Amino acid sequence: MRNLVIVISLVFIAIVAVSYFYFSNLAEKQPTQIPAPPAAAASVDIALSDPRDGNGALWAYALNGGSTSHPSVHQYSDSSRFILVQDAYHILHAISPEGRKLWNAQLPGPIVDRVSQLPDRSLVFTTAERLYRIDTEGDPLPGFSLKLPQQATQGAVISRQSADDAVRIQVGTSSQDLTYDGRGQLLRRQTIRRNARTDDRGNADSAFTDLPHGCGPLAYVGPLRSDDQRYLLCGKSDGNLYCFLY
């Protein structure tokens, strides 16, 4: 009996000793470090006034799907100009000469031909379905926009009556010339037989070939600020509008 007690005591002491050394050694081990996931790649975004990848551009302006019209330059005030260009989603963008957003407006379709400007700085243009007259802040003038009775096939042409200096806006369709006054009232429908015409849209200064910086035909060349410098505005396949010194 005495020998059995001694054996049990020795076994107990051995278990305690082994447990002590096991847990003591375990406490000294360092926890396994889980490697942090790699940092996400920074998104590539050409911001306003950031000419990165623009081959010397003064600035780049991001358009949705790229430009689908000639950029055009208009008077914003007595001493400043601004740029209008439409993108692939038919959004009309107003951009400052420094490449900053002024405003934008969703249109129902592409602008037919070009945007014209009156001496009061209001802007007149048409899509296939509607005729617009807006101010330089993008707000419609009284009577506009208005739905056309037929789809426009030619852009809005502005004239003034010499007798009363009244504004007349003419829109061509496939079979009629529609004449409106400056408040959107239809004055006349003239049925015509239209011949094929030469497409004269765009700025006269934009009729260039072999433009530098990889610019395509949808470009503008001309003044942008109050200086004597000429500038080149063009959209590229990356979806941005670029401004270069020309």
The DSSP H or E segment spanning 22 is: helix 2-28
In the prediction, which pLDDT does 54 show?
Answer: 55
pLDDT of 44 strictly over 50: no
Q: According to the model, what pLDDT value does residue 126 have?
A: 97
Read off the tokens for 233: 């505005």
Q: What is the pLDDT of residue 25?
A: 43
In the chain, the amino acid numbered 178 is: L
Residue 173 has pLDDT above 50, yes or no: yes
Q: Which of 32-46, 51-65, 72-86, 186-200 has the highest mean pLDDT?
A: 72-86
| 226 CB burial (10 A radius; 0-12, 13-18, 19+) | exposed
What pLDDT is stored for residue 140 in this prediction? 97
pLDDT at residue 242, rounded to an integer:
95
The pLDDT value recorded for residue 192 is 82
Interval 76-114: pLDDT, tens: 999 999 999 999 999 999 999 999 999 999 999 999 999
- Please tell me the distance from the alpha carbon of residue 150 to that of residue 122, in angstroms, as a whole number: 24
Q: Sorting pLDDT into bands at 50, 70 and 90, what band is 149?
A: very high
How far is CA 123 from its chain centroid?
19
Q: Which helix (H) or strand (E) holds 9?
A: helix 2-28
d(CA 99, CA 34): 46
Query: Who's near 4: CB < 8 A, 6+ residues apart?
Result: none
In the structure encoding, which two tokens stand for residue 138, read together?
Answer: 């993008």
Model pTM? 0.72
pLDDT in tens, 8-34: 666 556 554 545 444 444 344 333 332
pLDDT at 117: 95
Average pLDDT over residues 40-53: 37
The SS3 of residue 119 is coil
Could you give the CA distance from residue 185 to residue 29 in angstroms, rounded to a whole number?
88
What local confidence, expressed as pLDDT, does residue 43 receive?
A: 25
- Assess whether pLDDT exceeds 70 at residue 70: yes
Of residues 220 and 202, more confidently modeled? 220
Any idea which residue has 């004055």 for tokens?
A: 187
Cβ contacts of 95-104, under 8 Å, gap ≥ 24: 95/61, 95/241, 97/224, 97/225, 98/49, 98/59, 99/48, 99/49, 99/58, 99/59, 99/60, 99/61, 99/243, 100/48, 100/49, 101/48, 101/61, 102/76, 102/137, 102/138, 103/137, 103/138, 104/138
Q: What is the pLDDT of residues 179-211, one digit of tens each?
A: 999 999 999 999 987 665 544 444 444 455 578
Count of C-beta atoms within a 10 Å radius of residue 54: 18
